[in-house]
Amino acid sequence: MFFQDAEEYTDLPVRHNEDHMNSELAKCLPLESNPHSFDSPHTKAHLLLQAHLSRTMLPCPDYDTDTKTVLDQALRVCQAMLDVAAHQGWLVTVLNITNLVQMVIQGRWLKDSSLLTIPHIENHHLHIFRKWSPGVKFPRAGYHGSIECLPELIHVCAGKDHVFSSMIEKELPAPKMKQAWNFLSHLPVIDVGLSVKGWWDDAAEGHDEVSITTLASDKRSDNRWVRLHADQEYVLQVSLQRVSLGFHKGKQDSHAVTPRFPKSKDEGWFLILGEVDKRELIALKRVGYVRSHHVVSISFYTPEVPGRYIYTLYLMSDCYLGLDQQYDIHLHVTPASISAQADEISDALTDLRVK
C-alpha cells in the first residue's frame, strides 16, 4: 500500500473540475501519478503532499485547506506504517518512514539541502554558505571549508547571531533574517554517549558496564570491538545530552519550529537499533523532548553464533531534517556465558518447583 492509499484520505473532496486542476498540478511535480485517476481523492492527496514538499504554488485557496487536511492525517498514517514496519523488523522501511515524517513536518524533500529548511533560504542562497570563510573577523576553531548542512552551520555560528547575519545580510531584509535565525537558534544539538550493561564471565560478580566509543578517530582501532557473549540479553544505555550554545537564556520551549506545518509539534526523537547487513530492525524507541540530560535503555539479544557483528544506532529527529546521527557498534560475540546459562537453568528449575 502506498501512503496516499490510506483510508484516511477516502473522504478528501474532489470538487467540480478539480480533476483538470489535478492534471495540471501533476505536471509541476516530480513523482508521476496515474493519468486516469485525477478524480480520485487518493491521487489528490498524493499531489498535495508532493506540492507541500516541493513548495509548489497551488491552483486555488481550496487546495490550501485540503493540504492542511492531508498533513493533519499524514502523521497518523506514518505512525501506523511505522508500527507495522517495526513489528515486522523492517529496518530500511522504518528509516524511510522516519524520514517521511521529517519531510512532512518541514515541507522539504529529503534530497534537498537541509539548509533549505531555514525560512526564506532558497536554492539560490546556498552558494553564500558554500563560499563563506570565517577569516579573521569570525574565527571558528576546528572548522575549514564550505558549509553544506545544518550541523555545519550551527557549529560555525556557535550561538552568535552576528556570524549568521554576516553571511546573509545582503540577501535578506532584517525581519526575514530574524525569522531565519529564530529557526536556526532553536535547533537542538544533542551529544550522544553509549555503553552496554550485562553479564560477563570474567567480570566482578559477572555484571559490568562497558563504554562504547563514539569518536570517529577510534574506529580503526581493535579497541572498538566490544566483547559480548552469544545468545544473551544486554542493555544498550544511550545518554542524550542537550548542548547549550547560549542561544536562549530563559525557559526552554519543547515546541519545534515548524513554519510549514499547520499544527503545533513538540520536539521528539526516534532511537533505532538495527543490523544493516541483514536490513533487520532490532529495537525502536521513541524519546520525547530532551531538556538537559536523558538516558534511554534499549534491550537486545546477541546473535547465537559467535563472530563479529556491527549494529548501528540511529538518533533521528521526529520533526527536523538534517540533524540525524548514527553510530556503529562493533560487537565481538564470544561463546555463550556458562555462568549465565547456569543461572537461567537454575531460574527455570525454581519456576517449575513453584508451579
Beta strands at 233-242 and 190-199: parallel, antiparallel or unpaired: antiparallel
**Spatial contact of 190 and 169, defined as CB atoms under 8 Å apart:** no
CATH of the domain at 52: 1.10.3380.10
Q: What is the pLDDT of residues 41-91, one digit of tens each?
A: 999 999 999 999 999 999 999 999 999 999 999 999 999 999 999 999 999
Residue 212 lies in a domain: yes
DSSP state of 159: T
162, part of any domain: no
How much is the pTM? 0.87
Enumerate residues 6+ apart whose C-beta is below 8 A from 79: none
Distance of alpha carbon 138 from alpha carbon 128, whole angstroms: 16
Domain termination site, one of 88, 104, 135: 88
Question: What per-residue confidence (pLDDT) applies to 200?
Answer: 80
**Environment class of residue 328 by beta-carbon count within 10 Å: exposed (0-12), middle (13-18) or buried (19+)?**
middle
- Quick one: CA dihedral 243, 138, 151, 179, positive or negative? positive
In a domain, 240, yes or no: yes
Do residues 50 and 2 lie in contact, with contact meaning Cβ atoms separated by under 8 Å? Answer: no
Which residue, among 229, 237, 239, has the nearest Cα to 301 in the 3D structure? 229
Q: Residues near 144 by Cβ (< 8 Å), separated by ≥ 6?
A: none
Residue 146 sits at the vertex; the CA angle it makes with 141 and 151, to the nearest 5 degrees, is: 70
Both 71 and 205 in one domain: the answer is: no
Q: Tell me, yes or no, whether 205 and 84 share the same domain.
A: no
pLDDT of residue 127: 92
Q: Which domain holds residue 53?
A: 3-88
Decide if 120 is inside a domain.
no
User: Is 137 part of a structural domain of the chain?
Assistant: no
Where are any strands of DSSP class E within 66-179?
none
pLDDT at site 136:
41
Each residue of 159-169: pLDDT tens digit?
Answer: 899 999 999 98
CA distances from 24 to 21, 28, 30, 35, 154 (A): 5, 7, 13, 11, 40
Report d(CA 21, CA 38) in Å as an integer. Answer: 9
Domain boundary among 43, 62, 88: 88
Number of H helices, E strands in the chain: 9, 9
Size of the chain in residues: 355
Indicate whether 195 and 337 sit together in one domain.
yes
Q: Are residues 61 and 196 in the same domain?
A: no
Kindly state whether residues 198 and 334 are assigned to the same domain.
yes
**CA gap 323, 333 in Å, rounded:** 31
Considering the domain architecture, whether residues 203 and 336 belong to the same structural domain is answered as: yes
Q: Which residues does 93 contact at the CB level (< 8 Å), separation at least 6?
A: 81, 85
The set of cell numbers assigned to 162 is 552576528
- Same-domain pairing of 195 and 331: yes
Total number of domains in the chain: 2
Specify the pLDDT at position 354.
57
In-domain check, residue 149: no
Do 58 and 194 reside in the same domain of the chain? no
Residue 106 maps to a domain = no
Verify that 201 and 311 share a domain, yes or no: yes
For 237-269, the DSSP string reads EEEEEEPP-SS-SS----B---TTSSS--B--E
Residue 241: inside a domain: yes
Looking up residue 213, the CATH number of its domain turns out to be 2.60.40.150
With a cut of 70, list the residues of the chain below it in pLDDT: 1-2, 133-145, 202-207, 216-222, 245-251, 337-355
* The domain boundary residue, chosen from 72, 88, 104: 88
